[in-house]
Structure 1
């Protein structure tokens, strides 16, 4: 192990920049006592032990990302780089942004032109689905002065401003407008992504079409905070696109592309949680488009015992209409495993899921390894457990295609079992 001599970076004040790699071996760093105190408080992020009075060995745990820690002489910018390339990481984050831990303390980041293309693709896809039934409108109370009556006359304002003059009229009316917080977010994110260098021409054209559809929506002022929105029945179809739009705007400062180190919000991701959430949501969405029904990510509707004390937690249960009465019932169960090898306990877990849900097959999805099947005798019959692999080392476009192929394979297995 080599001693790493670091040049301090300036993030408002001087901070030691510590860079570790996900899954790597111990690395040795020269630290002051103040920096040791800062890092020692971050047991969730890294392990550490001393070599001598000034040198320490550090090793990352299961989070990746970058975060600003400590203040003054103890300030440290800790960066844990993922095994997967950044475009793959953002492809996963686009499906599971709630698995990201944000820290408002600024860190520095080197501008990278390839950080947002994957997120841009996911945003365009979600925004196009959101606008399939038209641009969201809402009623806004508007005060105006008009030559004719519209809505209600504001008599107090009319008498105060123009006593005895019949026109123009001070009125108030409800305007049905697309100028809503939700559309502000979509427009701001689309315009932000259009400034990303190196986007595919087709993706850039899709973003331009999206901004054209949002005609009548005001641009957010420079530096203005993102509009607040609350999920409800009115805007439910916008939900996925809005979450991605917020993610685009939050990460915007990464993309200056002129060689500067720039300040961004700290961001940390637990990779196994991100992988599980991504697989559940991406496959669920692909299944919904392919066979209909309703996906339930992280489904908690079933218990192993009759008392309901031992809740089962499969990453995805997909519900389809019953051929007998049309009622939605559990039809597919999937569990994701961010592991380098397949373990027997995974088979036990999936067997329990299948037996409890009354299904003849279950699906385990790993981040590496070899696919295959395992047949498990249950009573007078059997159930089949499929082991799939989604390789995060593949380019993100290939990864998106792999999800579609996985959904097709799951549907085929279900049809065959039926």
Structure 2
């Protein structure tokens, strides 16, 4: 069906005419993403998108949510600046189509350079004994028949069925079958993924991404896997919604990754950056955005906030709780801004830095802000 398009800008309120079914759909399925308030008349509502960009297909309208950031700076935030040339004007296509096209380009580049094989365990039923016998399966087979004709074994295989190939295979399958994507882009993704035929498509969880990142031979996959994570998160926005018609990028999460990867690239040897490390407090697990350590000793804990610079009381409570549970003597609340700025507060024995990190401007200006923050943390 053809849907009317309603264009929103992140965090800017717009009054629009909307059918009751569309307003109810947004309230029920995307309550934390789009705020829906009365607009003064029965058929008008006030819509505010909260910290996301992308699209949502409601029963009769498509919401297209654009960023306040200029297009080149959105690319920087999503980690796309090092691959393709980018003009200052936003693309004509929607964000999903742009990212899917870039995914196909990156996948083609990795395949042209040579896909990397890896070792993994594979289960087989073989006519002779090789590898490790799977005793439980063999005993079940023996109980079912008098003379088993095969051995149930696990052996080491060396092929393309490795995490760094399984992730793009999974993403390619999801993207190439998505109904909201133009048919030519779906065809381009399918063609780019042809060399991965036979690779197992697995759910790209954090553990699978971690396994891919630990393989030094797969360094050429880094930018492809980063885009896979962005696409996977965007597609997950539609999980559980009727029709699955949504693709949303959480800019707060993108800001966290921008902060973590930027610091990891700029801190000197001996320093380490860990994102979302888990710390148990009773039955609850706290996961600070970024933990910075010096030779294994916590030095800073950082909480990224995609909103106007604060702090408010909730921000301070959260980052101080992170500092207490991690043992870090210093904490920082990091907000987006146009230029670098910092202010230091004292909270008992702990120091809390309030930092504005540039996300608008040239790539050099954005990089300079990350470098200044890295120097601040390393003092």
- Give the TM-score of the pair, scaled to structure 1: 0.53
Q: Distance in 2 between matches of 1:332 and 1:139?
A: 40
Q: Distance in 1 between matches of 2:330 and 2:290?
A: 14
* 1:68 corresponding residue in structure 2: 57
Question: 1:297 and 1:14, CA in 2 relative to 1: closer, same or farther beyond 3 A?
Answer: same
Q: Could you list the runs of 5+ residues in structure 2 that have no partner in the other structure?
A: 81-91, 132-153, 173-191, 235-243
Q: Distance in 1 between matches of 2:287 and 2:214?
A: 26
Question: 1:313 and 1:39, CA in 2 relative to 1: closer, same or farther beyond 3 A?
Answer: closer
Q: Could you list the runs of 5+ residues in structure 1 that have no partner in the other structure?
A: 1-12, 96-107, 144-150, 153-172, 192-210, 212-216, 253-263, 322-327, 414-418
Q: 2:359 aligned to 388, 392, 407, which one?
A: 392
* Shift, 1:82, TM fit: 1.6
* 2:309 equivalent to 1:341: yes
More helix by share: 2
Question: 1:140 and 1:374, CA in 2 relative to 1: closer, same or farther beyond 3 A?
Answer: closer
How big is each residue's C-alpha offset from its partner over 1:37-96, in whole Å with a ceiling of 9 and x where there is no partner? Answer: 4445443313231433444443333433212122xxxx221122121234544544459x
The answer (yes or no) to whether the contact 1:136–1:183 under 8 Å persists in 2 is no
Question: 1:59 and 1:349, CA in 2 relative to 1: closer, same or farther beyond 3 A?
Answer: closer
* 2:147 equivalent to 1:179: no
Q: Distance in 1 between matches of 2:96 and 2:283?
A: 48
Q: 2:247 aligned to 259, 262, 267, which one?
A: 267
* Shift, 1:405, TM fit: 3.9
- Compare relative contact order (CA 8 Å, sep 6+) and give the higher one, 1 or 2: 1
Question: 1:53 and 1:221, CA in 2 relative to 1: closer, same or farther beyond 3 A?
Answer: same
* Shift, 1:403, TM fit: 2.6
* Shift, 1:278, TM fit: 2.0
Question: How many residue pairs get matched?
Answer: 305
Q: Distance in 2 between matches of 1:123 and 1:408?
A: 35
Q: Distance in 2 between matches of 1:291 and 1:20?
A: 44
Local SS of the residue matching 1:407: helix
Q: Distance in 2 between matches of 1:311 and 1:284?
A: 24
The structure that has the greater radius of gyration is: 1
How big is each residue's C-alpha offset from its partner over 1:114-134, in whole Å with a ceiling of 9 and x where there is no partner? Answer: 75899899999x99xxx9xx8
* 2:285 equivalent to 1:318: no
Q: Distance in 1 between matches of 2:196 and 2:261?
A: 31
Aligned-residue CA RMSD (Å) = 5.3
